[in-house]
């Protein structure tokens, strides 16, 4: 039997996915209370303190970066979406916090030995093919000082394999709706989503795909990138369980 497998999406598809529509539904999906809680989890897992220098890769609209800055960290956020970065800067100004927001590609970072910690939160790792995903880890390692920490948060692949496919996720904001049709390709370990947005009388469709890794794969990749030790946690820093919803990895350089 022949199987058709799916692969990473293009930069054009990424920009279409992380668009103004993404922002429009963002507070419905991630409430301020949830974002506050997650910022606290990241603060603790990365052992941050007043004045710690921290880099967020794929910072989006700054919902976590701005909160870490409010807690006293020196934060830099990098993202490829001008629309999301504009929102991040506007919110930082409203909160009276100073965050360095940089447009860029997480596969090619401009920093060397600069940060105490870095993180990729809310499944922002795995967008690319195998080589470029590993390149992200090497770039992150290079940006960290000796003793620096890297945190990666992703859906737990083992739990995803138990779900029936496809699954459907529905979000409503005012009279507008967002529907995600999600399937998991076990041959490529990619979670593929077709997103349908019905808004202001218009229908828009986008595609998204993320490669999911198990802990042993993370250990191999992160040690190859120059990290010495790797730890596993579950959702929001709790104990990892095989069928829990998330895998959180913390690596030490």
Query: For position 6, what pLDDT does the model report?
Result: 64
Dig out the tokens for 204 from the structure.
């828009």
Query: For position 5, what pLDDT does the model report?
Result: 53
From first to last of its 253 residues, what are the pLDDT tens digits of the chain? 344 456 787 888 888 999 999 999 999 999 999 999 999 999 999 999 999 999 999 999 999 999 999 999 999 999 999 999 999 999 999 999 999 999 999 999 999 999 999 999 999 999 999 999 999 999 999 999 999 999 999 999 999 998 888 999 999 999 999 999 999 999 999 999 999 999 999 999 999 999 999 999 999 999 999 999 999 999 999 999 999 999 999 999 9
Quick check: helix, strand or coil at residue 20? helix
Query: For position 13, what pLDDT does the model report?
Result: 86
Could you give the CA distance from residue 165 to residue 43 in angstroms, rounded to a whole number? Answer: 35
Helix (H) or strand (E) holding 216: helix 215-224
Give CATH 3.40.50.150 domain extents, the chain.
Answer: 11-155+214-252
Query: For position 2, what pLDDT does the model report?
Result: 41
Could you give the CA distance from residue 3 to residue 175 in angstroms, rounded to a whole number? Answer: 39
Give the CATH number of domain 11-155+214-252; options: 3.30.1330.40, 2.60.40.420, 3.40.50.150, 3.20.20.140.
3.40.50.150
| DSSP H helix total and E strand total for the chain | 9, 11
Dig out the tokens for 59 from the structure.
């910072």
202-211 and 190-199 strand pairing: antiparallel
**DSSP one-letter code for 207:** E
- With contact defined as beta carbons under 8 Å apart, do 18 and 200 qualify? no
Could you give the CA distance from residue 183 to residue 164 in angstroms, rounded to a whole number? Answer: 8
Report phi then psi at 111, rounded to 5: -110, 150
Among residues 84, 87, 48, which one has the least CA distance to residue 69?
48
């Amino acid at each position: 039997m022949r199987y058709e497998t799916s692969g990473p999406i293009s930069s054009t598809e990424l920009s279409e996915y992380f668009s103004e529509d993404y922002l429009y539904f963002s507070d419905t999906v991630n409430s301020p209370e949830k974002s506050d809680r997650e910022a606290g989890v990241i603060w603790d897992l990365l052992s941050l303190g007043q004045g710690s220098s921290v880099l967020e890769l794929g910072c989006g609209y700054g919902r976590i970066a701005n909160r870490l800055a409010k807690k006293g960290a020196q934060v830099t956020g990098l993202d490829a979406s001008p629309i999301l970065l504009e929102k991040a800067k506007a919110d930082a100004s409203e909160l009276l916090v100073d965050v360095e927001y940089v447009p860029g590609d997480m596969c090619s970072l401009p920093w060397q030995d600069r940060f105490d910690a870095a993180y990729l939160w809310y499944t922002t790792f795995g967008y690319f093919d195998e080589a470029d995903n590993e390149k992200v880890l090497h770039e992150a390692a290079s940006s960290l000082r000796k003793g620096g920490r890297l945190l990666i948060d992703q859906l737990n692949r083992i739990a995803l394999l138990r779900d029936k496919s496809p699954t459907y996720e529905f979000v409503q904001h005012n009279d507008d709706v967002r529907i995600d049709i999600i399937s998991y390709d076990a041959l490529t370990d990619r979670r593929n989503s077709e997103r349908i947005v019905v808004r202001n009388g218009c229908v828009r469709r986008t595609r998204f795909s993320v490669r999911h890794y198990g802990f042993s794969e993370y250990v191999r990749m992160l040690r190859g990138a120059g990290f010495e030790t790797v730890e596993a946690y579950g959702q929001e820093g709790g104990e990892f369980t095989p069928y829990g919803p998330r895998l959180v990895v913390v690596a030490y350089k």
